A and B are shown apart, each in its own frame.
Chain A
């Protein structure tokens, strides 16, 4: 591949994914907290089938990667059932209260 093509590919990829790299931005964390409790806690509360998960279970970048790459691979259908804005709101809440955030939270 010519150098110019390589540059173009890089620039384009950056355009595509640039916004998503600074992922946890644009979500409403208050709505996210509600949705997290409603949608996630059903399986991820104490003693539930998915095992307890709280915002503090991951760091900010781990949460971002989870929403960008993993997308709840273990049970993809639960992510598919939520619309984009809902997922962004949940991601924002988890990111804002992750283990290495200013305000870590154990639970919603």
Chain B
């Protein structure tokens, strides 16, 4: 009996010590209970104050960066950009700021100097259980066990970055096209670099980070492209064994041949027409089960396995800024790449082009940032006049320029160009010569500034290279 007792007792102790041995260094230090995210941050900054300060300098916190656009210096970011999805953050904060790396940005009064509002956990959760309220201004859902999350913090994995970057636009794969939930644990065909059974790169393997400043710029919010990263950070400029392939690299971006399609697993939104919203007609879905009409939002087009559009890109882009004049009869490019066949720095690059039809002020010819979410918003009232008035009143960028809603609106066409950088295919799936040349139709040579296929006709104008 004694022996049995001893073995049972020691077995029990073993269970205890096993649990204790699995400890993260934060386990002993961080003690709850915590009722809200900023309670946790208050504990984090007891040791990590400098880290919080670094985060507060980053665009993950400020949602804006000073950058150069052609002919002007602007401060731009999610905070003031106009897109052709839900249009703008201003006046819609509690919904949009659910992806802010902070807590409580519910309106203009948010204090960007309050360190306790930094959300450490969204990037450093390793339990996979941390979820922000989708319409709670960045606050955490009540069901999250904050103590457990805080005691298990660690280096970010794809799931962390993906909790926002895979779901931008309010759903899986809506915005980017090359970033969606399938990139959390991709296979080789989806992405050769992040393949979980191969290289298993995390986001920060390429998006190198120092002092919480994460490199890389999405073109929509950061057209200035100050911290772009590229394949050349790891690969040589002439990486192929084949000399003829290497002769392409001064004019063709790596991505062009090596990302032949995006949205490989999940469909992405290709078009959003707000002008049809507000009708009491059937809410329809497509072959993927995605909405094609919603009363609140209008008409959508989704696509999967999409071939990119190609354009010259020299690393810089231009963008529509709040208050800029537009031509309602033309398609306004809200963000688009700069460069052409005469630009030595430009290369032919792949893009997702998201088209839209969105509200503008038909007296002043400027795009309107309507209030869609919350009290008085379009999704409650279905009244564009009211939504326009409230949205413009709440928009600091408009107020700074003295712009008010005139009382008349229409809908105008827009385009947003998104760079395609992820979902790099295995070598055997990269484009071949004949995808573009001879009978290949990938490239619209004329639109790119060539008279025709430059391989067939050597005498025609070529890209200006050194």
Contact = CB atoms under 8 A, between A and B. Distances in A.
B196 interface: yes
Nearest to A93: B128
Contact of B8 (A16, A28, A30): A16
Interface stretch (A4-12, A40-48, A64-72): A4-12
A48 to B, nearest CB: 18
B126 A1 contact: no
B9 A12 contact: yes
Contact of A30 (B5, B15, B128): B128
B15 A19 contact: yes
B12 A12 contact: yes
Residue with the highest number of chain B CB atoms closer than 10 Å, among A9, A31, A92? A31
A26 to B, nearest CB: 8
Interface string B6-27: 0011011101100100000000
B12 A5 contact: no
Contacts, number: 48
A98 to B, nearest CB: 16
A1 B128 contact: no
B1 interface: yes
Contact of A8 (B5, B126, B185): B5
Contact of B1 (A1, A27, A29, A92): A1
Contacts of B13: 15
A31 B11 contact: no
A81 interface: no
A29 B16 CA distance: 24
Contacts of A16: 8, 11-12, 15
Given A13-B8, A34-B196, A28 B15 contact: no
Contact of A28 (B12, B16, B127): B127
Given A29-B128, A29-B129, A34 B185 contact: yes
A23 to B, nearest CB: 13
B184 interface: yes
A89 B12 CA distance: 24
Nearest to B5: A8
B8 A9 contact: yes
A19 B16 CA distance: 9
Interface in B177-215: 184-185, 196
B139 interface: no
B93 interface: no
Contacts of B415: none
B159 interface: yes
A28 B196 CA distance: 16
A10 to B, nearest CB: 10
B5 A15 contact: no
Contacts of B12: 11-13, 15-16
A30 B11 contact: no
Contact of B126 (A28, A32, A38): A28
A64 B185 CA distance: 25
Contacts of B126: 28
Nearest to B160: A30
B202 to A, nearest CB: 13
A38 B159 CA distance: 17
Contacts of A15: 12-13, 15-16
Nearest to A32: B128
Contacts of A89: 128
A32 to B, nearest CB: 8
Contacts of B127: 28
A34 to B, nearest CB: 4
Contacts of B8: 8-9, 12-13, 16
Contact of A5 (B5, B11, B129, B159): B5
A34 B184 contact: yes
A9 B15 CA distance: 15
Nearest to B18: A19
Interface of B: 1, 4-5, 8-9, 11-13, 15-16, 19, 126-129, 159, 184-185, 196
16 contacts: A8-B5, A9-B8, A12-B5, A13-B8, A13-B12, A16-B11, A19-B15, A19-B19, A27-B128, A28-B127, A30-B184, A31-B185, A32-B128, A34-B184, A38-B185, A89-B128
Given A13-B8, A16-B15, 19 more contacts: A5-B1, A8-B8, A8-B9, A9-B4, A9-B5, A12-B5, A12-B12, A13-B12, A15-B13, A15-B15, A15-B16, A16-B12, A18-B15, A19-B19, A29-B128, A31-B128, A34-B184, A34-B185, A89-B128
